[in-house]
Every structure is written in structure tokens, then in C-alpha cells.
Amino acid sequence: MAFINFSAGEIQCKIVYYGPGLGGKTTNLKYIYDHTAEAVRGKMISIDTKGDRTLFFDFLPLELGTIGGFKIRIQLYTVPGQVHYEATRKLVLRGVDGVVFVADSMRIQREKNIDSLKDLEKNLKEKGLDIREIPLVMQYNKRDLEGTNIPILDIEEMEEDLNASLNVPVFPASALHGKGVFETLRAISKLVVKDVSRKVLAKLGASR
């Protein structure tokens, strides 16, 4: 649930980038950070683990407007995708308001994409959240590998594997080059603000 900071006049919304290891979650956040005005962003924090990292920073996307007169501060997090960091992924998901699932388009990663999505559903369920109700978008990353000698999955295959039952917005992307990165962020931010607005305004109304 979003946190209401009355002293700062802000509502803090948490978006987590989830997916298999080395699929592009960190690259997404780095691109967003590097292309966000310094005046509206906080410091990027990196927690290094062996072969993977957890990153987070926050920023004030002024174009999202306000909720009940409160400014909206977006907190972006990544989770380490490797299997043995499950405890860290669960910790990062605490208080989540929306999720970007970053899938790896390389064919060799097909099963890891599927396993990671199942892991997300299980970990959300443990926190009392339904993957079909929480704001969620899919990003199919590494589409820049099309036309190279690296075998990649067709969009249709990824849709069948990951989105057939969820039917959430999808964004083909190349996080390395920035393609689809901000489109993904805008989509999840709008879904989160809509969902949080409903909950926060109801809460504020009940407290009056």
C-alpha cells in the first residue's frame, strides 16, 4: 500500500521490476535514472550480490499530477533474479504497488521467464496480493537481438508463455538502447496512480 507522507505532502508509490536474472531489470533502472532530471530524482542505491544486484531510487514525475492534493513520488526497485535470492525478492516486494515483469527475449531463457513469473505470483500471494489484480505490465526485453545470430523468441511465443491468462499491457523493448523503457514506465505509473488514487481517496475520506 502506498505511503502517505503528510509532512512532505507526498504519496509514495512503489514499483518493482521483476524477472529472470540478467534479463534487463538493472539496465532499465539505469537508463531511467540517467535520463531523469537531477532536480526531481533521488540518489540511486545499489546493493551488490554475487552476480546480481538490487537497485532503487525515487523521483517526482510531475506529469502524473496529484492525488487528493498530494504530490506523487515514485520509488523504483529491481530484484535479483537468480533463484537463490528468493528471500531478497520477497523483501523487496513488501509494500509493492505495481510490477514491471521484464522477460528476456533470448530463446535460451524461455524456461527461466516462465519460472520467474510463477515465482512472482507465489511471492505476491504470500503477501495477500493477486497477480491478476495488482497493476502489472510486461516488458519483452532484448528485441534488439532480432536479426542477429542469437536465437530469440517471437512475441507470439512470449505472449503464449507469459501473458495468455493475464492479458496485461506489453512493451517490446531494448533497455540497453532505451527503446520501450519510458513507454513501460509510463504505462505502469498510470496504472499504479489510478489504483492508489482509489485506495488513498477512500482512506482519506474515511478518516474525515
Give the model's pLDDT for residue 82: 66
Residue 140 domain-assigned (yes or no): yes
Residue 25 domain-assigned (yes or no): yes
Give the model's pLDDT for residue 205: 62
Predicted TM-score of the model (pTM): 0.94
Residue 206 domain-assigned (yes or no): no
Residue 113 domain-assigned (yes or no): yes
Residue 80 domain-assigned (yes or no): yes
Residue 157 domain-assigned (yes or no): yes
Give the model's pLDDT for residue 91: 84
Give the model's pLDDT for residue 86: 76
Query: At 100, is the secondary structure helix, strand, or coil?
Result: strand
Residue 205 domain-assigned (yes or no): no
The total of structural domains in the chain comes to: 1
User: What burial letters (b/e) apply to 124-137, b meaning 16+ CB within 10 Å?
Assistant: beeeeeebeebbbb
Read off the CATH number of the domain in which 153 is found: 3.40.50.300
Residue by residue, pLDDT tens for the chain (208 residues) are: 788 999 999 999 999 999 998 899 999 999 999 999 999 999 999 987 665 678 899 999 988 999 989 999 999 999 876 655 677 788 889 999 999 999 999 999 999 999 999 999 999 999 999 999 999 999 999 999 998 999 999 999 999 999 999 999 999 999 999 999 999 999 999 999 999 998 887 766 665 5
**Domain span holding position 23:** 3-195
Residue 208 domain-assigned (yes or no): no
